A and B are shown apart, each in its own frame.
Chain A
Amino acid sequence: MFHALVSIKQVPDTTNIRIDPETNNLIRQGVPTILNPYDAHAVAAAVEWKRKLGGKVTIITMGPPAAVTSLRECIEMGADRAILISARQFAGADTWATSYVLSEVVKAVHEKDPIDLLFFGKQAIDGDTAQVGPGVAVRLDLPVVSYAVKIREVNLEERYVIIERKTESRNEVIKTSLPTALTCEKDIAEIPYASLPDLVYSLRYEPEVWNAESPITFDPALLGLKGSPTTVFKTGTPEKHIAGEVIKTEELGVDGAVKAALDKILGVEGMASILGVQK
């Protein structure tokens, strides 16, 4: 039986984030939270292979109680079990402290129900660090294949997996022994459109909740803010650029506007030779 575990995160939909123009603070209120898009594809891949091989998919997430919504979404996609890891001691964790908690949870799940593949999204869209997946893998001493775009083969008898990953210059086909961790690009699998019974089941599903004391315990020194090597020194908003001249075709005509723009571009030193055009 195949057992995949997927670690997911609920994130604010960064495309909808707004900044208070007066205080420069992030307005979190009213910003919808979503299942991190890369994680959604990771879940889809895990479910796809479960359906091919028979077995089950477990989802874990560390986050506030509201993250239940995202866990339900994973159940809707076809996952079988979901665990919410939630306690105030975990709050403020950086990637190092987060990977500590997740790795302990994965270990505990693995003891009772051995895991073959450990899935992550390639990164979360709020933090964009891409560190938690490799971090957990190192703590568990698992091989890690990041930026996976395709799982070619999972062989449970001979205990290996063949994964295609993307680097900047090419794709690599990597064979590793099971269990393996992988972080997924969106290409890894299409998000399935759940059947109505699956959807209704997920809407009523209540995930297991694990906290800092039960069912497993953690080293308190390694948790949350205290367990995080990095701290936020200060925050701000990006520098505002000064807007340049704006011309309108309805005033200068299309050709006039185009000529004016090209003249200005070519007026910049070195630009003429780059464009191969005379000033």
Chain B
Amino acid sequence: MDKNQKLEFDVIVVGAGLSGSAAAAIAARSGLKVAIVERGQNPGSKNYFGGALYTHSLLEIYPDLWDRKPPLERPVTETGFWFLSKDGLVKATVQGGKVNSNPIDAYVALRAKFDAWWAEQAQKEGAFIIPKTLVVDFIRENGKVVGVKTDRDQGDIYAPVVIITEGVNNLLTQKLGLAKHDIKGDSAALAVKQLISIPAATINARFGLTDNDHGLAMSVMGDVSMGLPGLGFIYTGVDCVSVGVGVTLEALREAGIKPYELLQRYMNHPMIAPLIAGGRLMEYGAHIIPEGGWKDMPQLYTDGVLVAGDAASMVNALHWEGTNMAIVAGKCAAETAIEAHQKKDFSAKSLSSYRTRLDKRFIMTDLHQYRNLSHFLKTHPDFMAIYPTFINDALGMFFTGFGKPKGQLYKDILRSLTDRRPLLKAVGDIVAFGRTIIGI
């Protein structure tokens, strides 16, 4: 091949994450010439978070998913909430029933491994991956984007459509003026996580899992984040356990707490420590998760450009959804690009059908419904601290109140709530939370 030839594709995808490789696969499958430009050594090498993947989204890209032998860890057969007090734990978890679907709804995955495989599938569909290369700007002709500039010499690549799936550091999206600013501190969570290697049999014993085909994914609330508005998590791989905690950047900064201290505290919690005891640290990482959702969403398209995934703030913090939104949005972006090629029209107007596609899916409706969540947490900073610890106290008292008059027991329980929060305010909290998640 001639090295001096102009590099031209039908579609350029920026970033080989879940969204990018999904978009590339769909576009390449339709016969378009697709390039994925990835800054990491390998796809996945920069990815670390998003441990749960949702089967529906994977099947949507690859109906023959299981024949392709995806490198998934364990299916999630038990999920729910753990409420931590200072030294206690109440579990509200679900297993069997709807969780035991066929196929199982969610799988735990190690992103470094999974994303490499995910990109390889896109490659099999015909997409061309250009690794170790950073997209730094766009090539514009008559004000329209017609390609990207990379950090390499002679680094221009041309295509009439660019799909930006650059992740949370949305510099390119900003460069186009689609996002007005960096993601704000109060609508982004910093999540820190450790991946700890533990033999599979030990994991099964400690978490009460029948075998390696059973796994657990938990949101952990209460005494996990040193009183800051945040959420812990714990989930099981085949022979490793992920533990982590996410707190909004702003809260972290105001409290002056270092992220690793937060994680260390959480990992030393008397209910968490035994689960990971004796394990070996495999990876430690920190990542910013855009939790602003609807309110932080950039403009999703412009002339020659579509934005999807974290870059478009497509994360539902409460439901741990983000990976599936990224994948489905990637697909919608690819379909839009295919249609634009058919029409030979890459204008913003033509690409606006991307928005229509998203509107029809859970992505826009959910993000709209939860649009006030980050505001709620900001205005109710101790919501995440008060109620989980109260639940621990209440149930603890209920199950240990032997030999005491039961009338007094209920009064004690009530007092343990009102000591934390006046009753009327507590009712107000619950109502406000309810309204937030219903989206009214």
Contact of B130 with A by CB under 8 A = yes
- Which interface class (under 10, 10 to 19, 20 to 34, 35 or more) fits A? 10 to 19
Contact of B416 with A by CB under 8 A = no
Instruction: State the CA gap A26–B400 with chains docked (Å).
Output: 49
Among residues 2 to 49 in chain A, which have CB atoms less than 8 Å away from a CB atom of chain B?
Answer: 18, 21-22, 30, 32
Stretch at the interface among B99-107, B146-154, B174-182: B146-154
Among residues 189 to 225 in chain B, which have CB atoms less than 8 Å away from a CB atom of chain A?
Answer: 197, 199
Stretch at the interface among B1-9, B25-33, B83-91: B1-9
Residue contact B197 to A200, C-beta cutoff 8 Å:
no
Point out the residue from A32, A196, A203 that lies within 8 Å of B155, measured CB to CB. Answer: A196
Point out the residue from A18, A21, A30, A196 that lies within 8 Å of B154, measured CB to CB. Answer: A196
Contact of B299 with A by CB under 8 A = no
Contact of A199 with B by CB under 8 A = yes
Q: Closest approach, in angstroms, between the C-beta of A11 and any C-beta of chain B?
A: 15
Instruction: State the CA gap A191–B330 with chains docked (Å).
Output: 35
Contact with A along B84-126 (1 / 0, CB 8 A): 0000000000000000000000000000010000000000000
Contact of B65 with A by CB under 8 A = no
Contact of B370 with A by CB under 8 A = no
Contact of A171 with B by CB under 8 A = no
Contact of A201 with B by CB under 8 A = yes
Nearest B residue (CB) for A203: B130
Assess A195 versus B197: contact at CB under 8 Å? Given A200-B130, A203-B130, A204-B1. no
Residue contact A203 to B154, C-beta cutoff 8 Å:
no
Residue contact B113 to A199, C-beta cutoff 8 Å:
no
Cβ–Cβ < 8 Å partners of B130 in chain A = 196, 199-200, 203
Contact of B346 with A by CB under 8 A = no
Cβ–Cβ < 8 Å partners of B4 in chain A = 197
Cβ–Cβ < 8 Å partners of B373 in chain A = none
Nearest B residue (CB) for A76: B132
Chain B contact surface mostly: loop
Cβ–Cβ < 8 Å partners of A252 in chain B = none
Assess A195 versus B199: contact at CB under 8 Å? Given A32-B42, A203-B130. no
Residue contact B199 to A22, C-beta cutoff 8 Å:
yes
Among residues 281 to 297 in chain B, which have CB atoms less than 8 Å away from a CB atom of chain A?
Answer: 282
Instruction: State the CA gap A154–B153 with chains docked (Å).
Output: 28
Contact of A198 with B by CB under 8 A = yes
Instruction: State the CA gap A194–B151 with chains docked (Å).
Output: 10
Contact of A193 with B by CB under 8 A = yes
Nearest B residue (CB) for A30: B113
Residue contact B7 to A18, C-beta cutoff 8 Å:
no
Assess A18 versus B3: contact at CB under 8 Å? Given A32-B42, A196-B152, A196-B154. no
Residue contact B197 to A199, C-beta cutoff 8 Å:
no
Cβ–Cβ < 8 Å partners of A199 in chain B = 130, 132-133, 152
Residue contact B282 to A196, C-beta cutoff 8 Å:
no
Using a CB–CB cutoff of 8 Å, the interface residues on chain B facing chain A are 1, 3-5, 7, 42, 113, 128-130, 132-133, 150, 152-157, 197, 199, 280, 282
Can you list 24 A-B contacts with CB-CB less than 8 angstroms, sorted by A residue number?
A18-B197, A18-B280, A18-B282, A21-B197, A30-B113, A32-B42, A193-B152, A193-B153, A194-B153, A195-B155, A196-B7, A196-B154, A196-B156, A197-B5, A197-B7, A197-B154, A198-B3, A199-B132, A199-B133, A200-B130, A201-B3, A203-B128, A203-B130, A204-B1
Closest 6 CB pairs of A and B: A195-B153, A196-B152, A197-B3, A196-B155, A195-B154, A201-B3
